[in-house]
Amino acid sequence: MESATQLESNATTNNHVDSPVDELVSRSIGAIRFASFWLAVALPFVYMPLLVIDMTPLTAMAFFGLFCANIIALIVGHGHNNR
């Protein structure tokens, strides 16, 4: 009896076909993770020079904003190419 139930569950999972919307969502998520990963790699090269120049309120705000963007990119891009 168990083997018949197992065969039925395998048949239903094998007949599942991804819809175009599912494929589009999957590819979009992959592209977002890819872009976020590389953004997280590149952003320190942008905001580190801000530490060298005189720190004005505008420079401090720019540094803080870029730092926060880097943290978000790290979180979103964490799963990129994770095999």
Which residues are CB-contacts of 25 (< 8 A; sequence separation ≥ 6)? none
The answer on pLDDT for 7 being more than 60 is no
How many domains are there within the chain?
1
- Does residue 14 fall inside a structural domain? no
State pLDDT tens for residues 15-38. Answer: 566 788 888 888 888 899 999 999
Domain assignment of residue 38, given as a range: 20-79
Q: Which of 49, 16, 25, 36 is nearest to 77 (CA)?
A: 36
The predicted structure's pLDDT at residue 69: 94
The predicted structure's pLDDT at residue 8: 52
State pLDDT tens for residues 42-70. Answer: 999 988 888 888 889 998 899 999 999 99
Look up residue 16 and give its amino acid.
Answer: H
φ/ψ of 20, rounded to 5, equals -60, -30
- Angle of CA points 77, 47, 71, to nearest 5°: 30
State the first-to-last Cα distance of the chain, in angstroms, to the nearest integer.
36
- Does residue 4 fall inside a structural domain? no
The predicted structure's pLDDT at residue 64: 92
- Does residue 60 fall inside a structural domain? yes
- Does residue 10 fall inside a structural domain? no
